[in-house]
Amino acid sequence: MGIRGSKSSQIYLDDVRLPADALLGEVGGGFRIAMSTLDGGRIGIAAQALGIGRAALEDSLAYAQQRRTFRQADRAAPGDRVQARRHGDRARRGAAAHAARAWLKDHKQPYGKEAAMAKLYASDVANRAAREAIQIFGGNGYVTEYPVERHFRDAKITEIYEGTSEIQRLVIAGYLTKGG
C-alpha cells in the first residue's frame, strides 16, 4: 500500500545449519540482540515518520497558497493555517525529541524506552499531518497526481513496522512499571 520505493519480501529458512563462527552474539542471547535491533530501528522509523509528516505539511501549505476554486484564488482558510502551524509545532518538538534519543544511542546509553516513545509520537504526528494534508487538498488529495496521497499511504506503515503503536505503548508501559 505504501513505501513503494522499498521492496519487501518474505524468506523461509528450513533446516539451515551454519558453522559455529557464524553465531551472532552468545548462545541464548538472540532475543536480546533482536530487541536491541528493534530499538535502533525504531529511531530510524521515527526519523522517517518526521520526514513524511514534514513533506505532507509543506506540500499542503504550498497547495493551499496556490489552489484555485471556481476560477478564483482560494487561499488557505484560517483553520487550515492554524492546523498547519500546530502540525509544524508538533513536528519540531518531535524532531528535537528524536535528536535526544539518537544522542543516547550514539553515546551507548540505554534508549529502548525513548526509542519506543519517539516512534509512537512521530508516527502519530505523521499520520495526523497526512490526514490533514488530504483534507486541505480536498478531492485532489485522493488522486495520484498530487503527492499527499503517497504521504498518507507512507505514513501508515510507520504505525506498524518495528512494532505497532499498540506494542510501543506496551513497551513504554513495561519500562515505566519497572521504574525506567
List residues with catalytic annotation. Answer: 162
| Cα distance between residue 43 and residue 165, in whole Å | 14
The residue assigned the cell 499520520 is 127
| Cα distance between residue 119 and residue 136, in whole Å | 25
Burial class (CB in 10 A: 0-12, 13-18, 19+), 67: middle
Helix (H, G, I), strand (E, B) or coil at 127: helix
DSSP classification of residue 69: E
